[in-house]
Structure 1
Amino acid sequence: MQKILDAILADELDAIGSLPVPESYRGVTVHADEVNMFDGVPHKEKDPRRSLHVDEIATPELGPGEALVAVMASAINYNTVWTSIFEPVPTFAFLKRYGKTSPLAARHDQPFHVVGSDLAGVVLRTGPGVNAWKPGDEVVAHCLDVSLESPDGHNDTMLDSEQRIWGFETNYGGLAEIALVKANQLMPKPAHLTWEEAASPGLVNSTAYRQLVSVNGANMKQGDVVLIWGASGGLGSYATQFALNGGAIPVCVVSSPTKAEICRKMGAELIIDRNAEGYRFWKDEQNQDPKEWKRFGTKIRELTGGEDPDIVFEHPGRETFGASVYVARKGGTIVTCASTSGYMHTYDNRYLWMNLKRIIGSHFANYREAWEANRLIAKGKIHPTVSKVYPLEQTGQAANDVHQNLHQGKVGVLCLAPQEGLGVRDQEFRAQHVDKINRFRGV
Structure 2
Amino acid sequence: MKNTHAAFGITTRTVGIGAAVLISALALGGCTAAESDGNAAADKDRELTVWFMQTGAFLDVTVPEVNKRFEEATGATVKVEVQQWDNIVTKLTTALSSDNPPDVVQIGNTNIQLFAANGAVRDLTDVLDELKHGVEWNESLEAPSTIDGKVYAAPLRVSTYAIAYNKQMWADAGVTEEPETWAEFTAALDAVKAKNPASDFSALYLAGADWQSSMPFVYDAGGSFAQLEGDEWVADINSANSVKGLEQYKEFQNSYSAASSQTASSTSPEGSSVMAELKASATIAGNPSVIVAIESGNPDLVGQIGSFPMPSINNPGELAPVMAAGSVVSIAAKSKNADLATEYIKILTSPEIQQDFVGLNNGAVPVSPTYIDAILDEVPEIQQAFYTAGKKGITLPASPGWATLEADKTLNDLFVQIATGARSVEEATTKFADHLNDVLNVG
Q: TM-score, normalised by structure 2?
A: 0.32
More helix by share: 2
- Highest RCO, 1 vs 2 (Cα 8 Å, sep ≥ 6): 2
Q: TM-score, normalised by structure 1?
A: 0.32
More strand by share: 1
